[in-house]
Amino acid sequence: MQRRQFLISSGALLCAPSSLFASSPANEQASAEFSPVLSAATEPSGNRIGVWRDSGWQYSQPISHRGHDSLYHRRRKELLFFSRRPGRELYIISTETGELQHTKISENGYHYYGHGCLSVDGRYLYTTENHVDNDGAGCIGIYDCEDNYRCLGHMDCEGIGPHELALMPDGKTLAIAIGGIKTLPASGRKTLNPDTLAPGLHYLDLESQRIVEKVAAPHFQLSLRHLDVGSDGSVLIGAQFQGRLPSEQALVYFHRRGETLKAMSTDELPLRFKHDYIASVCIDDHNTWAVTSCPRDNLVCLWNMQNQSLSQVWSLRDCAGAIYDAAYQQFILSNGDGQLLALKPGNSKLKLLAYSAGTQWDNHLSLLV
Amino acid sequence: MISAVMNLIRRGHTSRTLILACSFAAVTACSPPPPSAKLLKETGELSFISNYQDFSVSSQQLADASADFCQTPDQAAKFDTLHTKWKQATIDWAAIQNIQFGPLMVDNQAWKIQFWPDKKNLIARKVETLLKDGKPITLQRVDEASVVVQGLSSLEYQLFDSKAGSQQRYTGEAGVRRCELLTAVSTHLQNVAEGLYNSWRKDGGNYLATFSETGENNPEFSDDNLAIGYLLDTLVSGIELIKRDKLERPLAISSSANNEAQGSAPQTQVYQLEWWRSQYSKEAIIANLSALEDIFNANTGYGLDDYLREDKQQAALSDKINEGFKRCIVAASAIDGSLFDIANKPEHRQVILDFHRELSQLLALLRNDLPTALGVSLGFNSKDGD
């Protein structure tokens, strides 16, 4: 959307909308309006992971602490759920039975950071990990999905606190968001290196198992945590500032291999973050739009990937997960208020898809498609 | 419901069905709404709508005063009236500035009303550029232009800037174009304010119903607690905005401590004060506080104060919060002079720090105690995501 168009569409208020949200009463959701999603959640009964379809859990499992990201291994008909740091569990659930098949515990001296991705052929799983026994060095674990997720080893990612990672379209390179934050289980989630963070975006060549490109964050306290990779090789990355707030740093960056990190433009719109915290980052299938959630500022931002600028902003309490649902040409959002909502670029309103009182959706969503 | 029962009678249903239907009718007709529903309804009707209406009315008066002044721009009294009307609209805007949900957040209408802080002096630059380009200045042009030239901030520059805001600039041939911009921006603001009010009104967009009649058919709030969560956010972020953006950052106050190092002058940034050109920062802050207090109490209706006291058995907290609002307003009112004027005068520093301390104490109540008492989370992912 061009800037002019955005401003005109913002003038739509004069038409006096009846509500912020498109009218789709929750009880009229007999037919599916979104693809089933995988997510971790916290409910009054405890922490849970599973698949939410239409208006309820299709299946779910209790887990002992909070989960984080997840992914669907289509070929193996398995769901993988990663523990939130400093958890050591990787849960593997069968999509056919909904049963927990296996809990893979990280190797001794390592813990997961909560994210992972698969190789092109689905044979290998790559996870971001903390090599606790090596003074908190960051690394990428390699697992053989066809051998009961046996750990095949770890690759050095040349940075502390790798967080989200994704496979580049070449199928040979991983893009890794390096948060820079050193933590050790003995001191919980406390940042041990507040003055010497070295966050960045690192690219790892899977064949040589070496870092082939490093892009430093524009500020040493700008922890780069979440990213998504478009099918055209563009990388969008979201930051969380670790210093005095607000930092007034740009929080969302665009990158292409070989180029410098470019801050996404907010034009002159005074998009003011108070808490400088991006949770989920998601690019659509056509590399046209991207969404970032900012739970601490209760904001969802829609970005135009073509001109790398801000297009639209919504207020949404404690918004967390964001995933592109190609079948319905919409982004699905989740929040700590138990809501799943649809964001369709071009629509001025978000649309409520499902609500579960007491369910607090955790930071990330993935799709069962 | 009554006609449904009559239909049952006509169709000769069994007496048992009839009794069930009647008792259901009685329950539906007689049960009072739960306290949470009463809270939302009265807060919406007595506080929110009323504040939007005030802003709509004062924006209308500001637009009228602009048009009136531009008929005879050499009359000083009319320029004074215009200043007064801008101040009233700004005070009324302060009453809704902190609302964290609803039509105000659709495409961020707030940006069209206020552009602040303006660190790069964009308002002056963009307004002057628009004045110089020679193309006709119309309402549509203002609507399609950058938000920087719209709203109260642009009008503040046009009316209060030490150069651009002088009355002489509006007189003579050169003043015609400034008057065109002044009236177009005022009218645009009036449209935005009226649009917001209309979208809340029962006979307009009726956002009041969305906010206060929660449930499965509600497109936004499936239950009362979701809506109460946004009320809570409004209070917390309102006090946060005053404390941090309106005081700490422009006046170089440390967020946590009052024990400032003696001797070295604080590095203030007075041009980051809200409404520095009109030197109206303090008044807007007091209006913010009064509005937040009004929201907490649903004006004279059944507000969070009563809900805490009666439904949550938290009378002490309810009183402490109300006391906190009062102490903040007293402390802000004790500041002598405009913040812009006194920012760098050491003899005024302590009064400002006293006010800051009151804000911190109120914020702690709202952020730590109120969510627990209401049983509403201030944020799950926001608290500790990853």
DSSP string, A243-256: SSSP-----EEEE-
Residue A29's pLDDT is what? Answer: 44
Which tokens belong to A60?
């779910």
Tell me if A19 and B210 make a contact (CB, 8 A cut-off). Answer: yes
Q: How many domains does chain B have?
A: 3
Host H or E run for residue A67: strand A67-73
Percent of chain B with pLDDT over 70: 89
Pair (B140, B264) in one structural domain: no
Place of tokens 């209401």: B374
pLDDT category of residue A10 using cuts at 50, 70 and 90? very low
- Average predicted confidence (pLDDT) for chain B: 90
Pair (B159, B286) in one structural domain: no
User: pLDDT tens-digit profile of B92-132?
Assistant: 999 999 998 999 988 778 889 999 989 889 999 999 999 99
Residue A2's pLDDT is what? Answer: 37
ipTM: 0.81
**B97 in contact with A at a CB cutoff of 8 Å?**
no
Which residues lie below 8 Å from residue B242, measured CB to CB, with a gap of 6+?
Answer: B285, B288, B289, B359
Burial A329-358 (b: 16+ CB within 10 A, else e): ebbbbbbbbbbbbbbbbeebbbbbbbbbee
pLDDT category of residue B384 using cuts at 50, 70 and 90? low
pLDDT at A4 over 50: no
CATH code, domain with B238: 1.20.1420.20
Give the residue on B whose Cα is nearest the Cα of A26: B216
pLDDT category of residue A15 using cuts at 50, 70 and 90? very low
Pair (B154, B250) in one structural domain: no
pLDDT at A161 over 80: yes
Tell me if B380 and A360 make a contact (CB, 8 A cut-off). Answer: yes
Domain ranges within chain A, ordered by starting residue:
3-14+43-367
What residue type is assigned to position A98 of the chain? G
pLDDT at B22 over 90: no
pLDDT category of residue A11 using cuts at 50, 70 and 90? very low
Please, are residues A136 and A130 in contact by the beta-carbon 8 Å criterion? yes
Asked which of A107-111, A238-242, A309-313, B83-87 is least confident by mean pLDDT, the reply is A309-313
Please indicate, yes or no, if residue B256 is contained in any of the structural domains. Answer: yes
| Cis-peptide, bond into residue A295, ω within 30° of zero | no
Residue B2's pLDDT is what? Answer: 38
Residue A144's pLDDT is what? Answer: 98
Pair (B236, B290) in one structural domain: yes
Q: What is the rounded distance in angstroms from the CA atom of residue B362 to the CA atom of residue A190? A: 28
Closest-CA distance of chain A to residue B168, Å:
31
pLDDT at B26 over 90: no
Please indicate, yes or no, if residue B350 is contained in any of the structural domains. Answer: yes
Pair (B65, B155) in one structural domain: yes
What residue type is assigned to position A298 of the chain? N
Residue A245's pLDDT is what? Answer: 81
Q: What is the rounded distance in angstroms from the CA atom of residue B216 to the CA atom of residue A27? A: 6
User: pLDDT tens-digit profile of B156-190?
Assistant: 999 999 999 999 999 999 899 999 999 999 999 99
| Cis-peptide, bond into residue A270, ω within 30° of zero | no
Burial A203-212 (b: 16+ CB within 10 A, else e): bbbbeeeebe
For the beta carbon of residue B376, count every other beta carbon within 10 angstroms.
19
**B206 in contact with A at a CB cutoff of 8 Å?**
yes
Residue B174's pLDDT is what? Answer: 87
Please indicate, yes or no, if residue B216 is contained in any of the structural domains. Answer: no
Residue B266's pLDDT is what? Answer: 85
Residue B378's pLDDT is what? Answer: 83
pLDDT category of residue B259 using cuts at 50, 70 and 90? low
What residues 114-153 of chain B have any CB closer than 8 A to a CB of chain A? 115-117, 122, 143-148
Give me the sheet containing A110-118, strands edge to edge.
Answer: A110-118, A124-131, A137-144, A150-156
Give the residue on A whose Cα is nearest the Cα of B113: A270
Write down which residue in B192, B211, B230 finishes a domain: B211
pLDDT category of residue B23 using cuts at 50, 70 and 90? very low
Best of A4, A10, A301, A340 to disrupt the B interface by mutation (most B CBs within 10 Å)?
A: A10
Residue B288 φ/ψ, nearest 5 degrees: -55, -50
Closest CA to A122 of A138, A144, A91: A144
Q: What is the rounded distance in angstroms from the CA atom of residue B99 to the CA atom of residue B292? A: 9
Residue B30's pLDDT is what? Answer: 59
What mean pLDDT is predicted for residues A198-222?
98
Residue A32's pLDDT is what? Answer: 76
Give the residue on B whose Cα is nearest the Cα of A310: B107
Q: What is the rounded distance in angstroms from the CA atom of residue B234 to the CA atom of residue B227? A: 11
What mean pLDDT is predicted for residues B199-213?
96
- Average predicted confidence (pLDDT) for chain A: 91
Pair (B244, B378) in one structural domain: yes
Residue B383's pLDDT is what? Answer: 65
Residue A1's pLDDT is what? Answer: 35
What residue type is assigned to position A45 of the chain? S
pLDDT category of residue B260 using cuts at 50, 70 and 90? low
Pair (B156, B241) in one structural domain: no
What mean pLDDT is predicted for residues A1-8?
35
Please, are residues A273 and A313 in contact by the beta-carbon 8 Å criterion? no
Please indicate, yes or no, if residue B267 is contained in any of the structural domains. Answer: yes
What mean pLDDT is predicted for residues A29-54?
90
**Higher pLDDT pick, A244 / A51:** A51
Q: How many helices (H) and strands (E) does chain A have?
A: 1, 28
Residue B377's pLDDT is what? Answer: 85
pLDDT at A47 over 90: yes
Pair (B95, B27) in one structural domain: no
Closest-CA distance of chain A to residue B219, Å:
5
Tell me if A4 and B144 make a contact (CB, 8 A cut-off). Answer: yes
Domain range for B203? 35-211
Q: What is the rounded distance in angstroms from the CA atom of residue A330 to the CA atom of residue A228? A: 16
Residue B99's pLDDT is what? Answer: 94
pLDDT category of residue A23 using cuts at 50, 70 and 90? very low
Give the residue on B whose Cα is nearest the Cα of A8: B144
Percent of chain B with pLDDT over 90: 81
pLDDT at A248 over 70: yes
Tell me if B381 and A274 make a contact (CB, 8 A cut-off). Answer: no
What mean pLDDT is predicted for residues A166-173?
98
Q: What is the rounded distance in angstroms from the CA atom of residue B244 to the CA atom of residue B219? A: 34
User: pLDDT tens-digit profile of A94-107?
Assistant: 999 999 999 999 99
pLDDT at A269 over 80: no
Q: What is the rounded distance in angstroms from the CA atom of residue B138 to the CA atom of residue B119? A: 27
- Domain spanning A3-14+43-367: CATH superfamily: YVTN repeat-like/Quinoprotein amine dehydrogenase (2.130.10.10)
DSSP string, B215-244: STT-SS-SSHHHHHHHHHHHHHHHHHIIII
Pair (B168, B259) in one structural domain: no
Pair (B50, B77) in one structural domain: yes
What residue type is assigned to position B377 of the chain? S
Q: What is the rounded distance in angstroms from the CA atom of residue B130 to the CA atom of residue B79? A: 22
**B269 in contact with A at a CB cutoff of 8 Å?**
no
| Dihedral (CA of A21, A287, A292, A261) sign | negative
User: pLDDT tens-digit profile of B289-298?
Assistant: 999 999 999 9
Pair (B184, B248) in one structural domain: no
> How remote is the C-alpha of A77 from its chain's centroid?
22
pLDDT category of residue B32 using cuts at 50, 70 and 90? confident
Percent of chain A with pLDDT over 90: 83
Asked which of A39-53, A269-283, A349-363 is least confident by mean pLDDT, the reply is A269-283
DSSP string, B9-77: HHTT--HHHHHHHHHHHHHHHHSPPPHHHHHHHHIIIIIIHHHHHHHHHHHHHHHHHHHHHHHSTT-HH
Q: State the helix-helix crossing angle for B15-30 and B2-10, rounded to 10 degrees.
A: 170
Residue A5's pLDDT is what? Answer: 36
What residue type is assigned to position B99 of the chain? I
Please indicate, yes or no, if residue B217 is contained in any of the structural domains. Answer: no
Tell me if A317 and B233 make a contact (CB, 8 A cut-off). Answer: yes
Write down which residue in B158, B179, B211 finishes a domain: B211
Write down which residue in B154, B186, B211 finishes a domain: B211
Residue B100's pLDDT is what? Answer: 86
Q: What is the rounded distance in angstroms from the CA atom of residue A80 to the CA atom of residue A253? A: 28
Residue A247's pLDDT is what? Answer: 84
Asked which of A1-15, A30-44, B334-348, B360-374 is least confident by mean pLDDT, the reply is A1-15
What mean pLDDT is predicted for residues B280-285?
98
Tally of CA atoms within 13 A in the half-sphere of A63 that contains its CB: 27
Residue A18's pLDDT is what? Answer: 38
pLDDT at A6 over 60: no
Kindly provide the residue ranges of all beta strands, DSSP E only, lying in A189-234, ordered along the sequence: 200-205, 210-216, 222-229
User: pLDDT tens-digit profile of A114-151?
Assistant: 999 999 999 999 999 999 999 999 999 999 999 999 99
Tell me if A25 and B115 make a contact (CB, 8 A cut-off). Answer: no
Residue B9's pLDDT is what? Answer: 38
Please, are residues A251 and A225 in contact by the beta-carbon 8 Å criterion? no
Best of B382, B383, B384 to disrupt the A interface by mutation (most A CBs within 10 Å)?
A: B382
Residue A265's pLDDT is what? Answer: 94
Pair (B191, B291) in one structural domain: no
Give me the sheet containing A162-167, strands edge to edge.
Answer: A162-167, A173-178, A200-205, A210-216
Burial B265-298 (b: 16+ CB within 10 A, else e): eeebebebbbbbbbebbbbbbbbbbbbbbbbbbb
Give the residue on A whose Cα is nearest the Cα of B120: A268
